[in-house]
Structure 1
Amino acid sequence: MPDEKPTSDERTGPDERSPLRDPVFRALWIAVLAGNVGTWMQTVGAQWLVVHQPDAATWVSLVQTATMLPVLLFALPAGALADTLDRRRLLIVVQIGLCAIAAVLAVLTARDDIGPRGLLVFTFLLGCGQAVTLPSWQAVIPELVSHDQLPSASALGAVNTNLARSAGPALAGLLVAHFGSAVVFGLNALSFAVFAVALLRWRRAPNPPARHPEHFASALRAGGRYVRWSPVIRRILGRVLLFVVPGSVVWGLLPLVASRELRMGADGYGLLLAALGAGAIAGALLMPRARRLLRTNQMIVAAGAVYGVALLVTALVPNRFAVAPALVGAGLAWMMLVSRMNAAMQLFLPNWVRARALAIYQLVFAGGQALGAVAWGQSVQAFGLRQTFGVAAVLMLAGTATVRLWPVHTHEDEDHSPAVFWAEPHLMLQPHLTDGPILVSATYRVPPANATAFAAAMLGLRGSRQRTGATQWGLFRDGADPGRFVEVYLVPTWEEHLRQHEGRLTGDDEQAEQRATALAEGPPEVRHLLPAEHSE
């Protein structure tokens, strides 16, 4: 199977718990754990509040959709905000707002003034807050730990999520069974307050202001452009989608499995979710060994196979003593794949676009869950619960089988740190920052013997130019002078081109440029062509 070789970090990586030795990371990790527990309790309380409604399958799946749909709608704008605003302050404001929304929901539920439609509205609003929180928090993590600790921090993030998935549903099931959903919603409000307090206590070192801070609209476009021209990121996103869409059947329809197939109450449903969480915690504990033994694509195959078998067991053996162990395996597989893909994203992304690209990752992840939940809910109505789980199992195994044709190459050994290596442009005309488009040309003299290799090396630079700002790119050879090659690319504005000079390029971009230049007779002659209507 084609795959990248394990990196040194994968073979001998740092202690998985090493980030927790940092007091700031530890405090925020615990606060996030509280927030995740509250979120899972919220989900259980909301789903159980509608499980006895007419058309329960539709209502239960809509709760999952209302939770995830905001990420689909707002993840990219939230990522742009996180890359252009102070991430700590943004997180604090959002947590305060979420606390207020959850508190109002708790009061209305306690007064029995909330119906299924109102519950979906509040669930959607809470999902909007989470949509803003996720990319901001993910982008903050590299500020808290060193680069070689990022895989460990990502694994700890998965442990955090799955500790919450294990404890939150079980605790929520007991509280809902004995006190009702209002108590669960109130505790969720408290969890947001805990996270806000931890963020207030974090004294983050101020970042130096950017020379040319990005505006919201251009930041959105730049984030989408980066992902579009990054094959590594596109492969990761595609692989996540192939796993999450069939896998979402568990998260969307498990309440129906508990109530209809296994004849279990709210506390039993909580225990099934706890089985998922326990499997995920086991997966987190096994991750260091798995990273040493399994390459990325082997991990994808193993996770997909285990999860597919778990879905088959749920479809064919409606017995709690069979389903619960299967869910442990599903939780383990889910955690391993999601953690591996998240770590690959964190290690690959440069800081300037980190939150936006992670927001797109969250968009694909949550969008797959939200749309999958709707589809599986309708499938239950049309074909039945067991048949729906059987179809999801077939799709999971079929998607896993495509790894040989569509492998993931993470290139974790490349240098993605910022590199400022372009000379500052010196112009007789001084353009305004908003002037554009700007046509940049670079003329190379290339010996005939190097022409083919040079053209291939320059194609490797195309992605670099377009990830960092160019909207069009081309390489041309002079028909009258075959040794003269001209690279041209178009950038929307002068400000966007200056950002290429000032920190968007990485060490890997620099190495790619050096490989091309080594095949030419010296560095290129660079020109910047401004709009003809430019006013001095």
Structure 2
Amino acid sequence: MTQLPSPTPAPEVQPTLLTPFTYSLFRAIWIASVVSNVGTWMQNVAGVWLVTTLTSSALLVALMQTATSLPAFLLSMPAGAIADLIDRRRLLLFTQGFMAVVALLLAALTLLGEVSALSVLGFTFLLGIGAAINAPVWQTATIELVPRRVLGFAITLNGVSNNIARAIGPAIGGAIITYYSPGWVFLVNAVSFVGTFAVVYAWKREAEVASGPAENLTGALRAGMRYVQYSPAIYAVLFRTFAFAFGASAMWGLLSVVTARRLHLSSDTYGVLLSWLGAGAITGAFLMGRAGNRLTFNQRVLLGSAVFVGTNVALALVPSVYWLYPVMFISGIAWLMAMTSFSTTVQLHVPKWVQARVVSMYMLVFQAGLALGSMVWGELADRTTLETALLATAAWMLLSLLLAIPFPMRSAEGLNLEPAGHWPAPTVATDIDPDDGPVVVMIEYEVALADQPAFRVAAAQLTRLRLRDGSLRAGVFTDLAQPTRITEFFYVATWGEHQRQHHRFTKEDQAVEAHVRQFHAGPEPPRVTHFLAFPRSGNVEMATSYETMESLQ
């Protein structure tokens, strides 16, 4: 009988920019977010305008930006930890409802004529708190709405949402202020949260299974910072993000000054320039969708930084605003290209258990770069000239291209960050309280002398993973009496923290561990032993010096 050939599997369809819209929940949340973002930009315009009409103090007007940004500096990292500790859907419902109530109260007071400049600042600060808590969980929710292979396009579409809102929100808000009052803008913003609340409420998110003993907020913050410290792929992105934001801040901070002082044009022209920037960002999303995987994230950031070199030179030297329109358009493309590359790289390199914390640190670094850069370039412009500050910024962006050498952005292609779940539960004689500790884990290997140089290299990678996932100390020791006997150890603060390590170890990490174990030459698997600090005794005693003993006699 003739055997029929096996059917050739159909090639997997490559995702495009529109692929995330085929997932109904992402589509619904994206549409709701566009409406909410438009309301936010309307609120920003109306708030600043209202304070301007209520007071003659320029300081109070300037403090509107502080009231919006300060909560992000204060709360980004705690918000990220909270988002990793509790159900993200419930947290989104809380933040959306909280911001809707705050905007509604501000609208009511404004329409009743009971509002003051200070109260507008206060309500703006409360909205900033809601936004700061909402941002990390909103960023990380995207990875639950679409498959990993289309995550980059989904994040790009989130950037498109923000730029659509930036392009039309201020115009709509300005029109309502002109014909009605800022109070109606605040009311529209309050209503804009309702759509997002309804969509998130309808999200039937799968309940998460608890992975080890619950963390407290302080421990969760430490775990997030430790994860970044021992993750080269993550801190490389953070360095590059800060450098880019620090240089790109000059465009955001000095564009209005270029328009008014160098080109002697009105605020209308400034608004048009921002519109060109937003149009470029939206166009950039579609260009990136067509480009697909032709450019790596590292190459996109390099290209975006190179464009901003030209942007700052143009802002310093171009004599006509008509030449700046295409410059702003191209800058919008570069901005979206770089920012989505940073955000996507971070999210693709982080397992779910620490995702919101790492994203919050990324957002904090980005905001710090923008804030510090605006101060530095603005001060430089005041002390020298506007042109000098912009050319210095261009030089900074040019030098930042060299960061790609020590801090390359690594590809996340093929990473499997699902929990490995392969560590067997340790055998214990009695029940152990999760707060008991510290714990020392020792793993004994038999490694031939000829294999030990390669073993040390592999073990160094495993040591980094131990430290990243919660160990306070980790290392490898050789038995002086039996040189082929090598012991790996790691020291953990509590038994509960060690249990969490079991759940933090990913399948990607498992491959590193397997590489270390392949050097083991003993007849039995490596021996694993757990040691717990003796009950009610000091964890580690410090030897008393001879001089101290003499003084005690």
Which string of whole-angstrom CA distances, capped at 9 and with x for unpartnered residues, describes residues 116-155 of structure 1?
A: x554443332222111111111222222111212122112
Q: Secondary structure at the match of 1:127?
A: helix
Which string of whole-angstrom CA distances, capped at 9 and with x for unpartnered residues, describes residues 386-433 of structure 1?
A: 444333333222222432343222343222121111111002243211
Please, which moves more after superposition, 27-36 or 250-259?
250-259
In the alignment, structure 1 residue 241 sits paired with structure 2 residue 252: no
Which string of whole-angstrom CA distances, capped at 9 and with x for unpartnered residues, describes residues 462-509 of structure 1?
A: 1211121111111111111110111111111101111122x2111111
Partners of 2:178 and 2:384 lie apart in 1 by 30
Q: Of residues 522, 528, 531 in structure 1, which corresponds to 2:533?
A: 531
Aligned to 1:510: 510
Partners of 1:214 and 1:330 lie apart in 2 by 43
Aligned to 1:336: 337
Please, which moves more after superposition, 516-525 or 317-326?
317-326
Aligned to 1:114: 116
In the alignment, structure 1 residue 80 sits paired with structure 2 residue 81: yes
Partners of 1:478 and 1:83 lie apart in 2 by 41
Q: Once the 2 structures are TM-superposed, how far is the Cα of residue 193 of structure 1 from its aligned partner?
A: 2.6
Aligned to 1:3: none
Q: Once the 2 structures are TM-superposed, how far is the Cα of residue 234 of structure 1 from its aligned partner?
A: 0.1
Aligned to 1:477: 478
Task: Kindly indicate whether the alpha-carbon contact (under 8 Å) linking 2:239 and 2:407 is maintained by their aligned counterparts in 1.
Answer: no
Task: Kindly indicate whether the alpha-carbon contact (under 8 Å) linking 1:165 and 1:276 is maintained by their aligned counterparts in 2.
Answer: no
Aligned to 1:141: 142
Partners of 1:376 and 1:467 lie apart in 2 by 36
1:520 counterpart letter in structure 2? H
Aligned to 2:458: 457
Aligned to 2:158: 157
2:19 counterpart letter in structure 1? S
Aligned to 1:496: 497
Task: Kindly indicate whether the alpha-carbon contact (under 8 Å) linking 1:169 and 1:273 is maintained by their aligned counterparts in 2.
Answer: no
The equivalences for 1:150-189 within 5 A come to: 150-176=151-177, 179=180, 181-189=182-190
Partners of 2:316 and 2:38 lie apart in 1 by 28
Task: Kindly indicate whether the alpha-carbon contact (under 8 Å) linking 1:173 and 1:270 is maintained by their aligned counterparts in 2.
Answer: no
Which string of whole-angstrom CA distances, capped at 9 and with x for unpartnered residues, describes residues 225-283 of structure 1?
A: 11111110000011010001121233334444445555555554433222111111111
Aligned to 1:287: 288
Please, which moves more after superposition, 238-247 or 406-415?
406-415
Aligned to 1:206: 207
Please, which runs of 5 or more residues in structure 2 have no aligned partner?
1-11, 538-553
Query: Compared with structure 1, are the counterparts of its residues 171 and 342 closer, same or farther at alpha carbon in structure 2 (3 Å cutoff)?
Result: same
Query: Compared with structure 1, are the counterparts of its residues 449 and 401 closer, same or farther at alpha carbon in structure 2 (3 Å cutoff)?
Result: closer
The alignment's TM-score, normalised by the length of structure 1, stands at 0.90
Q: RMSD in angstroms over aligned alpha carbons?
A: 2.7
Aligned to 2:374: 373
Task: Kindly indicate whether the alpha-carbon contact (under 8 Å) linking 2:224 and 2:357 is maintained by their aligned counterparts in 1.
Answer: yes
Task: Kindly indicate whether the alpha-carbon contact (under 8 Å) linking 2:16 and 2:292 is maintained by their aligned counterparts in 1.
Answer: no
Which string of whole-angstrom CA distances, capped at 9 and with x for unpartnered residues, describes residues 280-315 of structure 1?
A: 111111113445332233222210111221122122
Partners of 1:180 and 1:314 lie apart in 2 by 35
Q: Once the 2 structures are TM-superposed, how far is the Cα of residue 201 of structure 1 from its aligned partner?
A: 2.3
Q: Once the 2 structures are TM-superposed, how far is the Cα of residue 451 of structure 1 from its aligned partner?
A: 0.7
Task: Kindly indicate whether the alpha-carbon contact (under 8 Å) linking 1:431 and 1:530 is maintained by their aligned counterparts in 2.
Answer: no
Q: Secondary structure at the match of 2:480?
A: coil
In the alignment, structure 1 residue 431 sits paired with structure 2 residue 445: no
Partners of 2:51 and 2:270 lie apart in 1 by 14
2:348 counterpart letter in structure 1? L
Query: Compared with structure 1, are the counterparts of its residues 262 and 180 closer, same or farther at alpha carbon in structure 2 (3 Å cutoff)?
Result: farther
Q: Once the 2 structures are TM-superposed, how far is the Cα of residue 177 of structure 1 from its aligned partner?
A: 5.3
Aligned to 2:251: 250
Aligned to 1:124: 125
Please, which moves more after superposition, 13-22 or 343-352?
13-22
Task: Kindly indicate whether the alpha-carbon contact (under 8 Å) linking 2:416 and 2:507 is maintained by their aligned counterparts in 1.
Answer: yes
The equivalences for 1:39-78 within 5 A come to: 39-47=40-48, 62-78=63-79
Partners of 2:282 and 2:493 lie apart in 1 by 47
Q: Once the 2 structures are TM-superposed, how far is the Cα of residue 82 of structure 1 from its aligned partner?
A: 0.7
Q: Secondary structure at the match of 1:164?
A: helix
Which string of whole-angstrom CA distances, capped at 9 and with x for unpartnered residues, describes residues 181-214 of structure 1?
A: 4444333222223222221222323223444222
Please, which moves more after superposition, 34-43 or 126-135?
34-43
Query: Compared with structure 1, are the counterparts of its residues 366 and 388 closer, same or farther at alpha carbon in structure 2 (3 Å cutoff)?
Result: same
Partners of 1:359 and 1:301 lie apart in 2 by 24
Task: Kindly indicate whether the alpha-carbon contact (under 8 Å) linking 1:277 and 1:328 is maintained by their aligned counterparts in 2.
Answer: yes
- Aligned residues between the structures: 522
Query: Compared with structure 1, are the counterparts of its residues 119 and 388 closer, same or farther at alpha carbon in structure 2 (3 Å cutoff)?
Result: farther
Query: Compared with structure 1, are the counterparts of its residues 419 and 401 closer, same or farther at alpha carbon in structure 2 (3 Å cutoff)?
Result: same
Partners of 1:401 and 1:60 lie apart in 2 by 39
Partners of 1:183 and 1:318 lie apart in 2 by 41
Task: Kindly indicate whether the alpha-carbon contact (under 8 Å) linking 1:442 and 1:525 is maintained by their aligned counterparts in 2.
Answer: yes
Q: Secondary structure at the match of 1:293?
A: coil
Aligned to 2:551: none
Q: Secondary structure at the match of 2:293?
A: helix
Task: Kindly indicate whether the alpha-carbon contact (under 8 Å) linking 2:20 and 2:154 is maintained by their aligned counterparts in 1.
Answer: yes
Please, which moves more after superposition, 100-109 or 76-85?
100-109
1:70 counterpart letter in structure 2? P
Partners of 1:320 and 1:107 lie apart in 2 by 42
Q: Secondary structure at the match of 1:292?
A: coil
Q: Secondary structure at the match of 1:431?
A: coil
Please, which runs of 5 or more residues in structure 1 have no aligned partner?
1-10
Task: Kindly indicate whether the alpha-carbon contact (under 8 Å) linking 1:62 and 1:374 is maintained by their aligned counterparts in 2.
Answer: no
Partners of 2:174 and 2:259 lie apart in 1 by 12
Task: Kindly indicate whether the alpha-carbon contact (under 8 Å) linking 1:435 and 1:534 is maintained by their aligned counterparts in 2.
Answer: no
Query: Compared with structure 1, are the counterparts of its residues 121 and 367 closer, same or farther at alpha carbon in structure 2 (3 Å cutoff)?
Result: farther
Partners of 1:187 and 1:328 lie apart in 2 by 30
Task: Kindly indicate whether the alpha-carbon contact (under 8 Å) linking 2:297 and 2:345 is maintained by their aligned counterparts in 1.
Answer: no
Task: Kindly indicate whether the alpha-carbon contact (under 8 Å) linking 1:310 and 1:327 is maintained by their aligned counterparts in 2.
Answer: yes
Higher Rg of the two aligned structures: 2
Q: Once the 2 structures are TM-superposed, how far is the Cα of residue 105 of structure 1 from its aligned partner?
A: 3.5
Partners of 2:52 and 2:244 lie apart in 1 by 27
Task: Kindly indicate whether the alpha-carbon contact (under 8 Å) linking 1:83 and 1:354 is maintained by their aligned counterparts in 2.
Answer: yes
Aligned to 2:348: 347
Task: Kindly indicate whether the alpha-carbon contact (under 8 Å) linking 1:164 and 1:277 is maintained by their aligned counterparts in 2.
Answer: no
1:188 counterpart letter in structure 2? N
Please, which moves more after superposition, 311-320 or 433-442?
311-320
Q: Once the 2 structures are TM-superposed, how far is the Cα of residue 318 of structure 1 from its aligned partner?
A: 5.5
Task: Kindly indicate whether the alpha-carbon contact (under 8 Å) linking 1:71 and 1:367 is maintained by their aligned counterparts in 2.
Answer: no
Query: Compared with structure 1, are the counterparts of its residues 260 and 121 closer, same or farther at alpha carbon in structure 2 (3 Å cutoff)?
Result: farther
Task: Kindly indicate whether the alpha-carbon contact (under 8 Å) linking 2:477 and 2:488 is maintained by their aligned counterparts in 1.
Answer: yes
Partners of 1:388 and 1:169 lie apart in 2 by 28
